[in-house]
Amino acid sequence: MAFLISISSMTWKDNLSLNIARYKHSCGVLKAAYEKKIVVVAGGIDRFKKISNTVETLLVMEGGGGLMTLSDNNYWDYGPSLPMPLSDAASATTADQTGFFLFGGTSDNAATSVSIFKLGCSHAYDFQQGCTWTKIDHELHAPSAMGLAISMPSYPLGHRSYSNVRHCHQGEQS
């Protein structure tokens, strides 16, 4: 079961099972066209205890009554696969919500990674076809798993845009 929170209405939506049950995954929110958002769930460990490279996405929109899903039948869609199986990666979305990064994590051979991956989208209307993962040239100074990454906006603390911060929970899926 996946849980999403609408910050504007402070309500939870909990009837959105992922296609692949997973835990120790990474997640974030990207901006889409027309005030819509794309929730991204990447990697993690599946029910067979295998580290996954799968990515799932859900198109959502904040409405007067809270969070509304816009995907067909409230189902998660598959997104572009990670370049390698990965769990326990720290994640952060850029301040403008147009880029999503994964930092470190554990690969399928149990090695802790120093890699940084970016999910970038060339077309805001077609997430499935217009988005790709890229390995960033820079690496972490040391291998890292289960870390924390925080996206820092380019405006000063106390700015009204801080009220738009989104939270994503890494709970185990059944």
Structural contact between residues 164 and 29, judged by C-beta atoms closer than 8 angstroms: no
How far is it, in rounded angstroms, from Cα 44 to Cα 154? Answer: 30
Beta pairing partners, 64 = none
**What tokens appear for 16 in the block?**
């959105």
Tens-binned pLDDT, residue by residue, of the chain (174 aa): 677 766 667 777 676 788 999 999 999 888 877 777 888 999 999 999 999 999 998 888 766 665 666 655 567 889 899 999 999 999 998 878 888 899 999 988 878 888 999 998 766 555 666 788 999 888 888 778 887 776 766 554 444 444 444 434 444 443
Tokens of 96: 């403008």
The structure's pTM equals 0.77
The CATH architecture that domain 4-152 belongs to is 6 Propeller (2.120)
pLDDT tens digits for range 125-154: 556 667 889 998 888 887 788 877 767 665
